[in-house]
Amino acid sequence: MIYLVAACLLPVTAWPDGRLSVCGQLPADTTQNCSGHGGGTCQGQQQYCAPTIYTGLMLLALGVSSIRANLSSFGADQVKNQGRDTTQHFFNWFYWSTNIGAVFSLLVVAFVQQNISFLAGYLTPVTCLALALFIFLLATPTFVTKPPTGSEVSAMIKLAMQSWGCSWLGGTRERLGAHWWDLPPNKGAQPGAPSPEEDLANFQVLARILPVMLTFIPYWMVYFQMQSTYYLQGLNLHIPNIFQHDQDHTDTLQGYTFPDAWLLLANVVVLLALVPLKDHVIDPFLARRRLLPSALKQAVLGMFFSLASVLAAGIVEWERLWYVRHNQTVPQLIGKDHYLAATLPIWWQVPQFLLMGISELFVIIPGLEFAYAEAPKSMKGATMGLFFFMSGVGLLLGLGLVALLSLPIHGWMRCPEDYGNINSCHMGNYFFLLAGIQLVTCLLFIWMSRCYQSRPPQLRASHRCPRLVED
């Protein structure tokens, strides 16, 4: 519901009358739109929608995070008792479903926004969200649910601080767990809430999961290049005009422009094709021969594919800059922006998107499966939220690295102020740096996948203290 309310702010701000009601106004003396030369008069007050837009984005983030942290684990709960492999099938098709939504968003909504109106483009996802909420509410009686037992996060924070020696919480610097029976009972807990010893067991499990989660961060740094540097690279490659028409044939799409968001479709289309192949062919084939690797070992394989993807991007960038240095460029219009692109066709980017799509199959889907399977029973949502939280950390670190490399003195990513012009950058060096970071991560993850020992299935379903293996 929060997601839906926040999404409704977007079409309101795209509607002139809506902006009058939700946006403020800048004073006339602060506006820059003045007519004439020297002594001209300003055009009066202008609308100022930044507070409304940023408030909407914060609400969207709150809604998205609540859904992501709970929807995948909630969906897996619906099928976990229907067979041995149903959870694995669920996460395959869950991820496939999210990419169906991405195809619709990029292919249809982006085209409508760029060529028809932002109002119609924003109303489309609002309608979809409202329909999704309606279906979800209708299906509520059929869902497998469990009664709320209170938040485990506060208990985990308290145990962490106790393990760090916070005396005001009764903590010591002794190894946590030596005197778990001395933990005070949680008097305010709801019926069915974990006992103190169960809280301790959950804390110990999370302490084992956290290093694995942290090791996903460099992968996310590479993954989000698709929406940033891969995308920017594509804008500076030659894109065929799909809306061309000649004098003898009238094209019904005359006047429409190529939506730049379509450059992100390559990865999504790859996933739509590969997920069914993985679910129906690859996984059953490996399972019959008892060769199906664990989730962490699948993630190792996927990280090598992401390493290959960013290496391919670096090679394409070197080739693109060769064309630019030899004046083999062509002006092109993408959306409403002009680019001086290399004549190298954009199809050269297909391998890097294909490799990144394969990496998602073996990193993100097994990562979701790992987080769900290893999470304590009472902390499924929190653990899934932690998995997605690491993706945000990876994105921020990637942006921070770009900012660091964009410093004026010898910055590889230091580019002119001309929007979208990367012809004087050394973005290929940035790709190879990411490849080096990903290579170190792959080696670390190989060691971690060998040392990590999953909990037995009977312990995953219970609250008894598992015997932890020292790595």
Determine the Cα–Cα distance for residues 318 and 291; give it in Å rounded to an integer.
39
Determine the Cα–Cα distance for residues 243 and 180; give it in Å rounded to an integer.
69
Range of the domain at 181: 153-207
Alpha-carbon separation of residue 148 from 1, 180, 205 (angstroms)? 20, 25, 21
Query: Residue 359: pLDDT above 90?
Result: yes
Average pLDDT over residues 135-158: 81
Average pLDDT over residues 119-125: 89
Q: Which tens digit of pLDDT belongs to each residue from 397-447?
A: 988 888 888 877 766 777 765 555 777 788 888 999 999 999 999 999 999
Confidence band (pLDDT; 50, 70, 90) for 37?
very low
Q: Is 146 a member of any domain?
A: no
SS (H, E, C) 202-253: HHHHHHHHHHHHHHCHHHHHHHHHHHCHHHHHHHCEECCCCCCCCCCCCCCC
- Out of 91-100, 220-229, 369-378, pick the least confident: 369-378
Q: Do residue 157 and residue 267 come from a single domain?
A: no
Q: Do residue 160 and residue 11 come from a single domain?
A: no
We report the CATH number of the domain holding residue 341 as 1.20.1250.20
Average pLDDT over residues 108-118: 83
CA-based max dimension of the chain: 87
CA 219, 88, 202 angle in degrees (round to 5)?
A: 70
User: What are the CB-based long-range contacts (under 8 Å, 24+) for 463-469?
Assistant: 463/194, 463/195, 463/198, 463/201, 463/202, 463/376, 463/377, 463/378, 464/198, 464/201, 465/180, 465/197, 465/198, 465/200, 465/201, 465/204, 466/201, 466/204, 466/205, 468/204, 468/208
Q: Do residue 262 and residue 372 come from a single domain?
A: yes
Are 435 and 311 within 8 A, CB to CB? yes
Per-residue DSSP letter, 105? I
Determine the Cα–Cα distance for residues 391 and 223; give it in Å rounded to an integer.
9
List of residues 6+ apart from 418 with CB closer than 8 A:
none
Q: Do residue 391 and residue 270 come from a single domain?
A: yes
Q: Is 351 a member of any domain?
A: yes
How much is the mean pLDDT over the chain? 79
Burial of 195 (0-12, 13-18, 19+ CB in 10 A): middle
411-437 as b/e, with b when 16 or more CB fall inside 10 Å? Answer: bbbebeeeebbbbebbbbebbbebbeb
Are 32 and 22 within 8 A, CB to CB? no
Q: Please state, for a pLDDT cut of 70, what percent of the chain lies above it.
A: 77
The predicted model scores a pTM of 0.77
Q: Is 249 a member of any domain?
A: no
Average pLDDT over residues 249-275: 71
Query: Residue 154: pLDDT above 50?
Result: yes
Alpha-carbon separation of residue 415 from 264, 313, 340, 418, 422 (angstroms)? 23, 18, 14, 8, 6
* pLDDT at res. 117: 83
List of residues 6+ apart from 442 with CB closer than 8 A:
300, 303, 304, 307
Q: Which tens digit of pLDDT belongs to each residue from 79-104?
A: 888 876 788 889 999 999 999 998 98
Average pLDDT over residues 277-290: 86
Q: Which tens digit of pLDDT belongs to each residue from 42-74?
A: 444 566 778 888 888 899 999 998 898 889 889
Q: Do residue 283 and residue 199 come from a single domain?
A: no
Beta bridge partners of 217: none
Q: Is 34 a member of any domain?
A: no
Q: Do residue 134 and residue 109 come from a single domain?
A: yes
- The residue type of 409 is I
Q: Is 108 a member of any domain?
A: yes
Q: Do residue 410 and residue 266 come from a single domain?
A: yes
At 349, phi and psi to the nearest 5?
Answer: -80, -10
Per-residue DSSP letter, 290? T
Q: Do residue 342 and residue 398 come from a single domain?
A: yes
Q: Do residue 310 and residue 339 come from a single domain?
A: yes
Q: Residue 24 in 3-state DSSP? A: strand
The secondary structure element, H or E, covering residue 446 is helix 427-451
Q: Do residue 342 and residue 427 come from a single domain?
A: yes
Per-residue DSSP letter, 42? B
Q: Is 115 a member of any domain?
A: yes
Q: Is 10 a member of any domain?
A: yes
CB atoms within 10 A of CB 19: 17
Q: Is 35 a member of any domain?
A: no
Confidence band (pLDDT; 50, 70, 90) for 314?
very high
Q: Do residue 233 and residue 338 come from a single domain?
A: yes
**Last residue of some domain: 105, 140, 175?**
140
- Number of domains forming the structure of the chain: 3
Q: Do residue 278 and residue 182 come from a single domain?
A: no
- Choice between 456 and 289, residue whose per-residue pLDDT is larger: 289
The distance of Cα 470 from the centroid of its chain, to the nearest Å, equals 32
Average pLDDT over residues 228-234: 86
Confidence band (pLDDT; 50, 70, 90) for 189?
low
